[in-house]
Each structure stands twice: as structure tokens, then as C-alpha cells.
Amino acid sequence: LDRADGKSQLRTVPVSDTELSSRYRLVIDTRPLNSLQLTFDDSGNFMFVPGGEIPKDSKQRDEFSYKQHQRTANNLLKGVPSANLGFWFKLDLRDAFGLIAVDYPLQKLFGTTSICPRTGISVRWALTSLPQRWRWSSLAFQVGLTTLLDTTIFPKLAAEGIAATVLHVQDDILVSSHTVLDGEKALKVLSDVIVDHGFIINPQKFQPPARSTTFCGPLLHGRTDRPLPAKREITEATFNTAFNDFLNGKAPSKRRDHRRPKQTTEALRQNSLSWLRSWTG
């Protein structure tokens, strides 16, 4: 049934390709993959192993632990030249992760088998694009699209003298320009390049040039950006707790069967800086 308000109709099968792509998405269970840890062997080659095989006190876990970092919308907006501020355009990509190809060696992680009930023949299936919910998919997509911007789109904008900046957070793409004309030219270059590389633009989420918009958190207006208004009230108790964290730093967490480590001057300074970054973006 399509709806639950008493006006639903029986869904016909098979559905059209358009309805199929808009309603359904193939998602694999990546929980076993997300439990894998990236480590290295005696030769220094990287490999994935089950997380339980690396002791908690191992050198691989402590000194070579991996962390993902992606620039936030606030970080990206700070890098937009003032000459390119004024108007904002937005694009959204459809099925973005599914448009990033995965190298053959990595496809082994996303494989499964099935047996034909009539012939009994086993068939191996492998996903050839980035899967949803894999712990590394967002980072791989960010690197892929950023590389396309750096190597193709930005040089084209510079060669054509277009005063505009393109940035993105995952599949949300923002174009900033001083004039509507520059923005439209940049949008044409951007659209042509990403379509040529196999990406699909979602027309339902396209935003034409505007003075104000939102982008992954910040509220953009003209040449300025600021955080969206908070939906919850900051009480006096919340303020006092936060300000106390700034003055005295958060106490290091106490480990089981260990004394709580003392707060050093350098640790206090770092905590204060972290506090400022968390409140200022």
C-alpha cells in the first residue's frame, strides 16, 4: 500500500524504473565490514583484520590508529574569497555514493554469493560502487568529488574568468558568486563537468540564485554567514557549566582501577582552545 491515511491504492508490480529508483535503494549490511580495523603487517603493508585480533595495548592500535576528518561547512565558508560573496546557488546529487566506482581489489569486501534454484550454480556478486553505511564511504566520496573540483572545475572557472567559488559537504554543493551572472556561468560549468563524469543532478533540490539560504548548518545571507537560531533555550545552568569548562577545563576521564590524572597547564590550555572552537565553529 502507498499510504496509511485511508486513501492508499494497491501498488502495481512491476513498477516503473522511475518509481523504482525514487522509492527503493539497495543497501547492504556493512556492520561486519565496519568492525574491521585497518592495520599493517611485518612488511608495512596495510590490511583489514577483525577488530578483536588487535590487542588493546598493541602498538598498531595506539600509535597508528586512524581517524577521519572532513572539513565542515563553517571551515569551507571561511575560505570563500570576499570578492565571490553575494549570491548563493545549491545543487544536490542523486544516489551520490552509487556513482563513485570502487577499485577491483576493494570490491572483494562487498561481495556475496547466491545459488540458482534451478541449476544449482553458485554466482558471486560484488558491489562496484561505494556502499551506503560503510564507515569509509563518506570520506572516499568527499575525496573523489573534491579531486574533481580541484583538477577540472576550478581550472575551468579560472580560465573563463568566472568570479565564483564551488564547495561541497558530501553531495550538497554550494556555488557562491558576487553577481547572478557569474553564478549562472559557474553553475553551467559545474553541471556540465559533473554530468560528464556520470553524476546525476537532483532537479527537485536545485536552488536558483538567492541572497539567503542555508547550507549544512550555517545561515547564509549576502556576504555573511551565521549559525542557525538554536531551537532550544540556553539556560543559566547550561551557561554556568559551559563557562566552568572554559575556565577550569574538563577533567580527564577516570579509567577503571586508575587514579584520575592531574590536569596540566598545557592540557588546560588545549581544553580552553577546544572549548572556543566548539562554540565558534
Domain boundaries, the chain: 73-100+139-227, 236-252+263-280
Reading the block at residue 139, the C-alpha cell is 570520506
154: left (phi over 0), alpha (psi -120 to 50) or beta: alpha
**Cα distance between residue 85 and residue 92, in whole Å:** 20
For residue 210, give the C-alpha cell. 538567492
pLDDT score for 62 = 46
d(CA 112, CA 16): 27
pTM of the model: 0.64
Bridge partner residues of 207 (DSSP) = 90
User: How far apart (Å, rounded) are the C-alpha atoms in residues 228 and 212?
Assistant: 12
Phi, psi of 124 (to 5 degrees): -100, 130
Nearest CA among 109, 138, 133, 113 for reference residue 123:
113
Q: What is the distance between the alpha carbons of residues 215 and 70, in angstroms, rounded to a whole number?
A: 16
Q: Which CATH architecture has domain 73-100+139-227?
A: 2-Layer Sandwich (3.30)
SS3 145: helix
Segments in the chain below pLDDT 70: 1-14, 19-26, 51-69, 230-233, 249-263, 280-281
Measure the CA angle with vertex 274, ends 174 and 251; round to 5°. Answer: 145
Q: Is-contact 225 77, C-beta < 8 A? A: yes
Q: What is the pLDDT of residue 185?
A: 93
Q: 214 with 228: CB under 8 angstroms?
A: yes
* Residues 53 and 35 sit within 8 Å (Cβ to Cβ): no
How far apart (Å, rounded) are the C-alpha atoms in residues 89 and 152?
19
Determine the pLDDT at residue 161.
92
